[in-house]
Amino acid sequence: MSKVKTGIGRRSFIKSVSLAGGGLVIGFNWMACKRAAEAEAEGTAVLEMPDEWFELNGYLKVGDNGVVTIFSPNPEIGQNVKTSMPMIVAEELDVDWNNVVVEQAPLNTDVFTRQLAGGSQSIRQGWETLRMAGATARQMLVMAAANQMEVPAEELTVENGVISHKNSDQSLGFGEVAGAASKLEVPTEVELKNNADFRIIGTSRKNVDAKKIVTGQPLYGLDTYKDGMLIAMIVQPPAFGMELKSMDADKVKEMPGIVDVFTIDTYPEDMEKEWSDVAAFSKLAVVVGESTWQVLKAKKALNVEWDLNPELTKEIEILEKSAGMKDATGLENTDIHYSLMADVGSKKAEVVRKDGEPEKAFENAARVIERSYTCPFLAHNTMEPMNFFADVSGGKAELVGPIQTPEYAEKSIQKRLGMELEDIDVQMTRMGGGFGRRLYGHFLVEAAVISEKMGKPIKLVYTREDDMTNGVYRPAYHVTYRAALDGNNNLTAFHVNAGGIPESPLFANRFPAGALDNYLAESWTLDSNISVGAFRAPRSNFIAGAEQSFLDELAEEMGKDPIEFRLEMLDRAKNDPVGEENDYDPARYAGVLEMVRDKSGWTSNSSTGARGVSAYYCHNSYVAQILDMSIENNEPVIDKVVCAVDCGIVVNPDAATNMVEGGTIDGIGHALYSEMSFKEGVPQMSNFDKYQLIRHKQAPKAIEVHFVENGIDPTGLGEPPFPPVQGALANALYKATGQRFYKQPFINQLKNTSSDLKT
């Protein structure tokens, strides 16, 4: 066991939060529900809720009958933290999981740290704190039991919520000592379990919200309802670079069910923004009415005039001189985006890392391999439309809905409405997808501003078109790789030049940095009026696929097996690394490549089939994937993907497997099909009739997931499986078609591919 300082203190964090008709969503343990249902069917007693609860720390409370409530602090976005975080607490508490009730914790920055869903950091950063919370409560219960039994605490053992003293044959349940334990001082130091003693961590537990999800019970922001609540929708500019000029709302106000039509400015110029206050458009028209259908009809009927935004018509700085995207209007076009990105790298790049003498190595090279890769803007397209409930009245603000950054949203409301933080209550519901879109809380601020103006509770709802054309997209990227080969076909230098609109995807210190004597990494960006934000596995979601595609092509040029080529470089990075800032572990990187090679049956001659490999490190984890596919009627058919993952200790294996499967499908889908383009600033895809997401029949027929067991503390998992599979896909497409794929979405090139394909 290891000892850790608790640092918990005695401050209670529980707020009284309730909404008439629904709001705060409480999820009960699936197994407890199942056991209760089985007991009821058999005519036996069901699990009773306690008459009295005793709070031992901010993460849990124990009932007088031994039932334990564990609070899940972070937003639930489908990554299953509402199950896995309480599992970690329950492990150290040593409670029977069937006696656990899970609740979504309210926002409380005094007790919880980083109540945020993003960066695949929830489990990683909460690992020790969650364990400490469980261990602290366990020790307090043991101390209370020792006092009651009049025996030394060190002679007591705990198992499944029962404290036992073997020598005197005494035992007490948690509920019998919870009251006394809650009155004890919090210990300054507690012991954590050895990994080998885990009974809950490392076992598969069903999603605590599973029953509510499959039976359609209210869990999501869209389910929120309050008596007297009105529905609000926004009308935004049709193009990036334009703003609202005027509107004629008289006829719309007379439509059935319409309460009011007005304009708002979500973020006035004098407001200090949080980093999460990314918004494409601040000045909006708003329609408020009694029902979604009535408001939707009125929204479509509203007559609005738009004008060029003077702030966005200024010339955009490109290269060494000023030049507008088109006629200095600020209305951007995709074809110009691509031509600028292809041209700018060599003229505006900044050296970020340089090892050795790469320029000299390229001058002396017998051969230089150079390839460029691009990808478009992408929309997030969460399954649950953007929405938020707000009730701003009487100097208080109550907000309920799906948000990845509740702490920052609360601060934004404070600044926008001029309220004190204690008068603002942000409640988190389960999210129907996020992928980075719900990191940016402008829709929450919009809901609050509308409610304040109306003096009534409202639920703001975006249509799919509103969201898809509202921005906060994944940026467009471009990268050029060069490799220098000597007369013996040895790799002597590597050069990456990466940029994008409006950010660069470059990670200068990642592989193959550190594996080569001569290495050069350059970065550049182009300004844009189009608002962007984090997309699942930010920046990695493009650069991984491009890098891994280039490494495969380079291996072929050098006459080497793709996996062995990567392993050779990783062996150099491990045994004789270049530089001191390499941010990956070569041994762990090589470990997933070796595992996926062995699990998939890869051999040196397997490259003759339509099979592609890829591996990447991001968000503190390592993933390698091998994808098998064929082409039928010019359509890709993905037969199987084998995944090897090193994310440290796996808390909930089934949930972790689901996450890898979902990330793999997501990565394939976006690389193959998804694209957002612009013409005169207008998004050309506003719904799924033009913006293609992967369909069920296009998903892999099988996904096989293997985890490295190394006992390392957990690292990220929600994002790492997403980036590398795009490289595996591109490499398999080459084997299937004989053509390399450099520009996403790949389906555009595949449609134009000759029917004379490799088999």
Burial 178-202 (b: 16+ CB within 10 A, else e): bebbbeeebeeebebbeeeebebbe
- CATH fold match for the domains 2-214 and 223-311+386-461: yes
Q: Residue 7: pLDDT band by 50, 70, 90 thresholds?
A: low
Q: How long, in residues, is the chain?
A: 759
CA distance 628 to 614: 12
- Locus of tokens 């509920």: 175
Q: How many CB atoms lie within 10 A of CB 751?
A: 9
Q: Where are the alpha helices (DSSP H) in 166-271?
A: 174-181, 210-214, 250-253
Q: Residue 503: pLDDT band by 50, 70, 90 thresholds?
A: very high
**Could you tell me if 200 and 130 are in contact, meaning their C-beta atoms sit under 8 angstroms apart?**
no
pLDDT in tens, 132-165: 999 999 999 999 999 999 999 999 999 999 999 9
Number of H helices, E strands in the chain: 18, 32
Percent of the chain exceeding pLDDT 90 equals 85
Mean pLDDT of the chain: 90
CA proximity to 525, closest of 513, 536, 539, 537: 539
pLDDT in tens, 482-492: 999 999 999 99
Q: Summarize the confidence of residues 447-469 as an average pLDDT.
A: 97
Q: Residue 111: pLDDT band by 50, 70, 90 thresholds?
A: confident
Element at 724 (helix H, strand E): helix 724-737
Question: Domain coordinates of the chain in residue numbers?
Answer: 2-214, 223-311+386-461, 339-365+371-376+473-751
Q: Which residues on adjacent β-strands are paired with residue 286?
A: 234, 262
Element at 545 (helix H, strand E): helix 540-557
CA distance 507 to 466: 33
Fold of 223-311+386-461: Aldehyde Oxidoreductase; domain 4 (3.30.365)
pTM score of the predicted model? 0.91
CATH 3.30.365.10 fits 2-214, yes or no: yes
**Could you tell me if 399 and 413 are in contact, meaning their C-beta atoms sit under 8 angstroms apart?**
yes
| DSSP label of 203 | S
Residue 338 half-sphere exposure, CB side, CA atoms within 13 Å?
Answer: 15
pLDDT score at 316: 47
Q: Where are the alpha helices (DSSP H) in 254-388?
A: 292-301, 334-348, 358-363
pLDDT in tens, 51-103: 999 999 999 999 999 999 999 999 999 999 999 999 999 999 999 999 999 99
CATH 3.30.365.10 fits 339-365+371-376+473-751, yes or no: yes
Element at 754 (helix H, strand E): none
Dihedral (CA of 666, 377, 690, 434) sign: positive
- Locus of tokens 């990227």: 477
CA distance 86 to 82: 7
Query: Of the ranges 42-51, 262-271, 617-626, 719-728, which one carries the lowest mean pLDDT score?
Result: 42-51
pLDDT score at 500: 96
Answer yes or no: is pLDDT of 754 > 80: no
**Helical pair 406-417 and 442-454, crossing angle rounded to 10 deg:** 40
Burial 495-528 (b: 16+ CB within 10 A, else e): bbbbbbbbbbbbbbbbbbbbbbbbbbbbbbbbeb
**Could you tell me if 567 and 586 are in contact, meaning their C-beta atoms sit under 8 angstroms apart?**
no
Answer yes or no: is pLDDT of 285 > 70: yes
Q: Summarize the confidence of residues 564-581 as an average pLDDT.
A: 97
**Could you tell me if 391 and 424 are in contact, meaning their C-beta atoms sit under 8 angstroms apart?**
no
**Could you tell me if 160 and 95 are in contact, meaning their C-beta atoms sit under 8 angstroms apart?**
yes
- Locus of tokens 């491009």: 546
CA distance 724 to 643: 10
| DSSP label of 157 | E
CA distance 564 to 555: 9
Answer yes or no: is pLDDT of 327 > 50: no
Answer yes or no: is pLDDT of 30 > 50: no
Task: State how far the alpha carbon of 689 is from the alpha carbons of 464, 576, 667, 684, 686, in Å.
Answer: 11, 53, 20, 11, 8
| DSSP label of 267 | S
Residue 232 half-sphere exposure, CB side, CA atoms within 13 Å?
Answer: 32
Q: Summarize the confidence of residues 586-608 as an average pLDDT.
A: 86
DSSP 3-state assignment of 701? coil
CA distance 121 to 488: 45
DSSP annotation string for 404-441: S-HHHHHHHHHHHHT--GGGEEEEEPB-S--TTGGG-T
CA proximity to 235, closest of 469, 76, 581: 469
Burial 338-359 (b: 16+ CB within 10 A, else e): bebbeebbeebbeebbbbbebe
Answer yes or no: is pLDDT of 115 > 50: yes
Answer yes or no: is pLDDT of 318 > 80: no
Q: Residue 218: pLDDT band by 50, 70, 90 thresholds?
A: very high
Answer yes or no: is pLDDT of 116 > 80: yes
pLDDT score at 416: 97
pLDDT in tens, 363-421: 999 999 999 999 999 999 999 999 999 999 999 999 999 999 999 999 999 999 999 99
pLDDT score at 3: 73
Q: Where are the alpha helices (DSSP H) in 247-333?
A: 250-253, 292-301
DSSP 3-state assignment of 137? helix
Answer yes or no: is pLDDT of 324 > 70: no
Burial 717-745 (b: 16+ CB within 10 A, else e): bbbbbbbbbbbbbbbbbbbbbeebbbebb
User: Cα–chain-centroid distance for residue 564?
Assistant: 32
**Could you tell me if 728 and 627 are in contact, meaning their C-beta atoms sit under 8 angstroms apart?**
yes
Query: Of the ranges 186-190, 321-325, 632-636, which one carries the lowest mean pLDDT score?
Result: 321-325
pLDDT in tens, 173-205: 999 999 999 999 999 999 999 999 999 999 999
pLDDT score at 345: 75
Q: Residue 16: pLDDT band by 50, 70, 90 thresholds?
A: very low
